[in-house]
Structure 1
Amino acid sequence: MLRIRNLEAGYGRLRVLKNISMHVNPGEIVTIIGANGAGKTTLLSTIAGLIRATSGEISFQNQEITRLAASRIPRQGCVMVPEGRQVFASMTVEENLLLGGHSLGRAGRKELPALLDHQYGLFPILRDRRSQLAGTLSGGEQQMLAMARALMSRPSLVMMDEPSTGLAPLIVRDIFQVIVRLRQEGNTVLLVEQNAKAALAIADRGYVLETGKVILQGSAEDLLANKDVQRAYLGREKIQ
């Protein structure tokens, strides 16, 4: 579904991504782990068109999107749930969700009621809060809203940037259960996550980024068993 070849990108003269190649198959959960500053957010932002690649190629469903405008990429079926939620605080929950369906265009307006019902089924608390201003929600509720807003465009690939940041453990568990359910419903997920243990527990495969380079890749099971991954990201107590 997604193929990246020799991708490089950064900010001005600062090169952050260095010759990255990776892929995501339909129906997979693929996680990207790494320390702060490894380039994880830059990678998702480049795929989403928010940062321009300086070289390399990004293909989504066999169409090159490397230089597509960020506004066009969701229409191709690739959406991003940004780090820090970034909900529209002065708008209601339902208004945020309807904005998420904007990329469907006029032809998709008739689908909006069914899409709203589906998101409320995934996140029942949002139905209860539908008329509440998004800025008054808790952090966990805002994360659910950010995810539901992305899903309103009927994406094929959902990219999530650090969905567990700042959330209580019980909320994190609920968020990861929803990610698993998305895959069960036919979605494909590319997950950037600091909580490596939780991410690898639900992923099919993973990539480890370090200073803008892919230094390890493999099945989630293999990465969980890798002593270098355990030492760097899972804690020394995991090494046997």
Structure 2
Amino acid sequence: MLKIRNLDAGYGKLRVLKNISLHVKPGEIVAMIGANGAGKTTLLHTIVGLIRPMRGEVRFLGQATGSTAVERIVASGCALVPEGRQVFAPMSVEENLLLGGFILQKEQGRAEVLKELERQYELFPILRERRQQLAGTLSGGEQQMLAMGRALMSRPKLVMMDEPSTGLAPLIVRDIFEIICRLRAQGNTVLLIEQNAKAALGIADRGYVLEVGKVILQGPAADLLANADVQRAYLGREKIA
């Protein structure tokens, strides 16, 4: 579904990503872990077209996307849940969701948007209860669910999530990760960027470790969880015998 080869990307002359290669298969949850500043958000922004590659190639569903407009990448089935939620605070929950369905409405009409809205209310019942509430007055967990629902309104094939657990209480983090697993069960593919390595690798099929713009480790999620270097750097402990 997603293939990246020898990718360099960054801002101006600053190269943040250095020779990145990775892939995501349909139906997978793939976790990308790494410390702040490793380049995780830059990677997602490059995939969705907000940043243009300096070198290398990004292919989504077989098509190179290096010069494709963000709107066309989203319309082709790639959606981003941004770091920090970034909901439209002065607008209602439902207005935020309907904005997420803009491309769907443009291509398939209002009726399909309303069907998708109902699906999001089924997936996130709290959003139905809060549908007329201003997004800025929601709790952090509710805003994260709204950001996820807004992205899903475009009916993406690939959902990219940037640090969905940031700033949330442990019980809410558990709920968010359960929803991510439910998305996979419903046929979605997920690329998950997380500093919470244990939670991310705990639900992922495969994982990559990004450090200073480079992939330094990759493999099945269970293998990365058991890796001594990953445990020392990201799980806060030595390898358990």
CA distances 1:168-212 after superposition (whole Å, capped 9, x unpaired): 001000000000000000000000001000000000000000000
Checking the alignment, whether the CA contact within 8 Å between 1:6 and 1:56 is kept in structure 2 is: yes
Distance 1:64 1:45 in 2: 15
Give the deviation of 1:128 after TM superposition.
Answer: 0.3
Distance 1:161 1:108 in 2: 29
Give the deviation of 1:113 after TM superposition.
Answer: 1.7
Give the deviation of 1:102 after TM superposition.
Answer: 0.5
Match of 2:2 in 1: 2
| Letter paired with 1:45 | H
TM-score (ref. length: structure 1): 0.98
Match of 1:143 in 2: 144
| 1:11-30 equivalences in 2 (<5 Å) | 11-30=11-30
Provide closer, same or farther for how the CA distance between residues 37 and 12 of structure 1 changes in structure 2, counting only shifts above 3 A.
same
Over 4 Å off, 4+ runs: none
Distance 1:198 1:40 in 2: 17
Checking the alignment, whether the CA contact within 8 Å between 2:93 and 2:131 is kept in structure 1 is: yes
CA distances 1:101-153 after superposition (whole Å, capped 9, x unpaired): 11111523221121111111111100000001101111110000000000000
| 1:55-70 equivalences in 2 (<5 Å) | 55-70=55-70
Matched position secondary structure for 1:71: helix
Matched position secondary structure for 1:7: strand
Q: Does 1:206 align with 2:213?
A: no
Give the deviation of 1:52 after TM superposition.
Answer: 1.2
Checking the alignment, whether the CA contact within 8 Å between 2:4 and 2:58 is kept in structure 1 is: yes
Match of 1:127 in 2: 128
Give the deviation of 1:239 after TM superposition.
Answer: 3.1
CA distances 1:30-68 after superposition (whole Å, capped 9, x unpaired): 000011111001000100111111111111111111211
CA RMSD between the two structures: 0.9
Match of 1:232 in 2: 233
Distance 1:168 1:107 in 2: 38
Checking the alignment, whether the CA contact within 8 Å between 2:7 and 2:20 is kept in structure 1 is: yes
Match of 1:115 in 2: 116
Distance 2:134 2:239 in 1: 43
Distance 1:175 1:184 in 2: 14
Checking the alignment, whether the CA contact within 8 Å between 2:103 and 2:154 is kept in structure 1 is: yes
| Letter paired with 2:150 | R
Please list every run of 5 or more consecutive structure 1 residues that lacks an aligned counterpart in the other structure.
none
| Letter paired with 1:100 | G
Match of 1:158 in 2: 159
| Letter paired with 2:139 | S
Matched position secondary structure for 1:144: helix
Distance 1:140 1:156 in 2: 24
Matched position secondary structure for 2:70: coil
Match of 2:34 in 1: 34
| Letter paired with 1:135 | G
Match of 2:197 in 1: 196
Checking the alignment, whether the CA contact within 8 Å between 2:75 and 2:103 is kept in structure 1 is: yes
Matched position secondary structure for 1:191: strand
Q: Does 1:80 align with 2:76?
A: no
| 1:45-56 equivalences in 2 (<5 Å) | 45-56=45-56
| Letter paired with 2:169 | A
- The number of equivalent residue pairs is 240
Distance 1:70 1:234 in 2: 35
Match of 1:97 in 2: 97
Checking the alignment, whether the CA contact within 8 Å between 1:231 and 1:239 is kept in structure 2 is: no
